[in-house]
Amino acid sequence: MKKIVLTSLIASSLLLAADAKQNQDIMTHAKVGYTQTDGNTNTKDFTLEGKLTKEWDVNSLALTLDAQYGKLESDTTKEKYFAELEYGYKFTSSLTFSVVLGYKDDKFSSYNYQSYVGPGLKYNAIKSDLQTLDVEASLLYSKDELQAAYVAATPDFVDSYGSYKAKLTYELQVLENLKFNQEASYRASFDDSENYFVFSKSELSTKLSDVFSAGVSYKVDYTNLVVAGIEKTDTTLTAFLSLDY
């Protein structure tokens, strides 16, 4: 399953990237943040986000990527990768049918990987020059590989289950040159109420030019079922430079 999801997402990203060179309808958003300290403490923190979006007729395709890496002295402290591919078909200007495929690999969580796929609906509740709000709900087939320490088993345990996901995406033009973005999602198993995941990202950004922006984001990644000794909540504060074209 892990190889299938990775292959699908990589193939899709390559197709979109290749098409981007020939088709102006593809929008590209790239964001990078980096921090390095030297002296008494040597640290390195790197974040990379990217989104490719293509629209044609009533169809749309979006690929989202998020990578985080951290190092303290010679020890790796964070290594997290997330990718999501979403296809959309517009029924109306406000209602869209979607199919989503997601994959997450987090070295320091209780999971070797998490993956999900399934259909959903997205509703554009607010759309104006000042603000937008999208509400999305999906029914998913999930497949996760839990680390052996969590289930006291060898080898690692693969869990397959039906789940659902609710997501809100909000954007507000605070000032002429200041934008606020908020994303929040909740994904949970139908069978086990304790098996759920929460993600939130709050972001402020300002335009530097037609293509460059700078800002700060704060991410909260919560996993309810974790191995003893691992924190349930993982937070990331990042100053970034972004590129849109």
For residue 162, the Cα-to-chain-centroid distance in whole angstroms is 20
Q: Please, which residues have CB within 8 angstroms of residue 70's CB and are 6 or more apart in sequence?
A: 43, 44, 45, 46, 76, 77, 78, 79
Predicted pLDDT at 234? 87
| DSSP, residue by residue, 138-185 | EEEEEEEEE-HHHHT-SSPEEEEEEEEEEEEEEEEEEETTEEEEEEEE
pLDDT per position as a tens digit, 164-194: 999 999 999 999 899 999 999 999 999 999 9
Domain layout of the chain by residue ranges: 2-244
pLDDT per position as a tens digit, 21-34: 445 578 888 889 87
How far apart are alpha carbons 150 and 142 in whole angstroms? 18
Predicted pLDDT at 6? 45
Predicted pLDDT at 27? 81
pTM to 2 decimal places: 0.83
pLDDT per position as a tens digit, 93-116: 999 999 999 999 987 787 889 999
**Cβ proximity of 44 and 35 under 8 Å:** yes
**Whether residue 161 has pLDDT greater than 90:** yes
- Domain 2-244 in this protein, CATH class: mainly beta
Predicted pLDDT at 10? 43
* Nearest one of 184, 182, 185 to 203, comparing CA atoms: 182
Mean pLDDT of 63-74: 88
